[in-house]
Amino acid sequence: MEAINQSRFKELKATGQLPSPKGVALALLNLMQQEDVTIQSIAHVVQTDPALSGRLIKFANSLHFNTRRPIASVSEAVMMIGLPMVRQLVLGFSVLSDHRNGKCNAFNYQQFWSCSLATAIANQALSAQAKTSSEETFTCGLLSGIGRLTLATLFPDKYATVLSTAAGAPPDELNRLEQEQFDTDHNELAAALLKEWGFPLILIETIYHHENPEKGDFQAGSRAYTLVHSLSLSRSLANLCIADEGSRRALLPGLYVLGARLGIDAEALMTLSDHVVSEWQQWGKILDVPTQELPSFAEMAASLPPLVEVAGSEASGKTDQAELPLRILIVDDDKAVSNYLQKLLASHGHTVFSAADGQEGLEKVIEYNPQLVISDWVMPNMDGIAFCKSLRTTRGGRELYFIILTALADEDRLVEAFEAGVDDYLVKPFSVKVLMARLRAGQRLTQLKEEISREREEVRRIASELAVTNRRLQRLALTDPLTLLPNRRYGMDSLEQEWEAAKNSARPLTCMLIDLDRFKQINDTYGHDTGDVALKQAAKILKNAARTQDIVSRIGGEEFMVICPDTQLKEGAQYAELIRRTFEDSLINAGADRVKINVSIGVAQYNPTMPHFSALIKAADDALYQAKLNGRNKVVACTSVTSR
């Protein structure tokens, strides 16, 4: 990842206009930098801002946490979310509240935040589904476009000109124009700001590359690959959420391709997208961000036309390949020429539309989706060359076969035409014989493109099916069949990964081992069926209690492990006590009886002196042993452990 020129960023920072937290949010961020900060002190400051309190409680109660009972207090919400995520949420909500409007007249601030909110919700949902266990994915999505907001804030007039020039162009063109005008671009600015705010490097790289993930050169299947493609898919889904009805038809097919890269089949993607839209609408009311009503994604998919439209005669096998009927758009301000071409081409079985200039031609391309364009060069408003250049910047326009009509065929003009993206030309006045010969060349190329398109669609279908199968096999290999929790193998692999992350970034890591008290007695008294019910109930309690960054697994018998990234020992012990009390309040059915389940929990924190991640498990196991010796139904942290 190329870093922004530091001297340039310092210049921009010195203006004092960069997006930054203020008020209660700034006080919270400063407080959370203190080593002895407590959940109670954080909650006390949050409560001074009723709006922020409501947003954090809403987030704690969101479906991503699957809480067993609703969270009603700020302190519970902070404990459930975890301090690292609270910090990122406070930052994101603060920037949103302070930058709802601005002076850049070409920058739609309301639409920007609506799209950013949808991106955040989609990114969090995809992260939960992919089990990437990254607690900042919501805020990562919310702030993924912060660079564009920054440029609109710092340079409202100049950036309005850049946005107008780049309208409809791909992201790379916008980046190029930004570099020319500001000596930086929105992706570089976003990366610099997130680094300034203390985001992890992997999320900074995710945001920097999400508009073009292939440039990131991430290894397929790696965590970085999953994060950047998840954010790319989230942004595409968000663009569809804010689009008008006509634009959604063009955006929807692209979602399936992005989903397949993450192993998500079409049906699962539609279900997830419907959930994202519902959450987006709920969050929009809470944050006062505009949203809109959308049909279900199944309804939108059903309204799409077939990938390739085939004429009835072709379907019956009677049409020669060289005479494939085409959808042709005639663009010419001379009505006599336009009418003549329409009648001529229609008589050969083609479907023909017309437009009087390039501007109207762009509208007709969107409306009728032609396969071939015949355009005059000289026209009012937008001439043929400008029209062709505009078409080539769009996805559908790049596929069109473009023939231009010209009165002059000198070498320089033809070079200009081909450089603009023209495929062929006709010199006026033209003969019907030459026109039809040029048209057959376009027919052959169009037919070849459609065959390639069908083959690609088949490859995507097969890839989607393989992705589903691979995900199912991987899930079976890493899942405990009784409790449906991740198994010992998954738990140990995850602990090793989090161990390496903690060691490399000096971030805290806590691990707890949980053992069901007197489980053998339950089996002996009520039978193994009741024992299985007890294990399933324990798994459900742990899953419901887990925070978004936690990793819960069954590691054997009646023993479970919970990995808590970015968690200090004191916070981990508080969390363990919350789990213990939840078990203490729970009963399971054992025939006519109701049986109470108690647990003993050992908690340990990563220490740089530990030689291997197994040392962390050993410390938690010693703490668990001490809890058993002390009478069971207790939480013991490693600092009070006496080794066996």
Reported as a single tens digit per residue, the pLDDT across 327-346 is 999 999 888 788 888 888 88
Domain membership of residue 12 (yes or no) is no
Domain membership of residue 423 (yes or no) is yes
Task: Give residue 412's pLDDT.
Answer: 83
Task: Give residue 41's pLDDT.
Answer: 83
Domain extent for 565: 488-640
CA distances from 99 to 103, 150, 373, 631 (A): 11, 10, 44, 56
Q: Which of 204, 184, 203, 152 is nearest to 10 (CA)?
A: 184
Q: Which of 72, 67, 69 is nearest to 56 (CA)?
A: 72
Bond from prior residue into 429 cis (ω within 30 degrees of 0): yes
Does 342 share its domain with 278? no
DSSP class of 499: H
Query: How far, in Å, CA of 253 to CA of 238, rounded?
Result: 14
Instruction: Give the mean pLDDT of the chain.
Output: 83
| Spans of the chain, pLDDT less than 70 | 1-6, 62-69, 130-135, 220-221, 253, 257, 260-261, 303-324, 409, 429, 591, 640-644
Does 90 share its domain with 107? no
The angle, 0 to 180 degrees and rounded to 10, between the axes of the packed helices 186-196 and 146-154 is 100
Which CATH number belongs to the domain containing residue 362 in this structure? 3.40.50.2300
Domain membership of residue 2 (yes or no) is no
Domain membership of residue 229 (yes or no) is yes
> How crowded is the C-beta side of 417, counted as CA atoms within 13 Å?
25
Task: Give residue 133's pLDDT.
Answer: 53
Does 270 share its domain with 317? no
Q: Is 451 a catalytic residue?
A: no
Which CATH number belongs to the domain containing residue 157 in this structure? 1.10.3210.10
Task: Give residue 2's pLDDT.
Answer: 53
Does 238 share its domain with 220? yes
Domain membership of residue 543 (yes or no) is yes
> Is residue 627 a contact partner of residue 636, using CB atoms and an 8 Å limit?
yes
Does 270 share its domain with 320? no
Q: Which of 383, 372, 309, 384 is nearest to 341 (CA)?
A: 372
> Is residue 102 a contact partner of residue 155, using CB atoms and an 8 Å limit?
no
Domain membership of residue 82 (yes or no) is yes
- Of 76, 178, 211, 558, which residue is the catalytic one? 558
Does 539 share its domain with 581? yes
> Is residue 606 a contact partner of residue 510, using CB atoms and an 8 Å limit?
yes
Query: How far, in Å, CA of 427 to CA of 437, rounded?
Result: 14
User: Of 245, 276, 302, which residue is a domain's last?
Assistant: 302
User: Of 421, 446, 471, which residue is a domain's last?
Assistant: 446
Domain membership of residue 70 (yes or no) is yes
Query: How far, in Å, CA of 215 to CA of 131, rounded?
Result: 24
Does 336 share its domain with 190? no
Query: How far, in Å, CA of 309 to CA of 371, rounded?
Result: 11
Does 52 share its domain with 111? no
Does 121 share its domain with 72? no
User: Of 82, 98, 114, which residue is a domain's last?
Assistant: 98
Domain membership of residue 6 (yes or no) is no
Sign of the dihedral through C-alpha 279, 280, 285, 287: positive
Contacts 24+ apart (CB under 8 A), 196-203: 196/13, 197/91, 198/87, 199/88, 199/136, 199/140, 200/136, 200/505, 202/134, 202/227, 203/134, 203/136, 203/137, 203/140, 203/227
**φ/ψ of residue 80, rounded to 5:** -65, -40
Does 295 share its domain with 350? no
**φ/ψ of residue 554, rounded to 5:** -95, 120
Does 163 share its domain with 278? yes
Which CATH number belongs to the domain containing residue 519 in this structure? 3.30.70.270
Query: How far, in Å, CA of 573 to CA of 568, rounded?
Result: 9
DSSP class of 33: T
Structural domain total, the chain:
4
Does 294 share its domain with 360? no
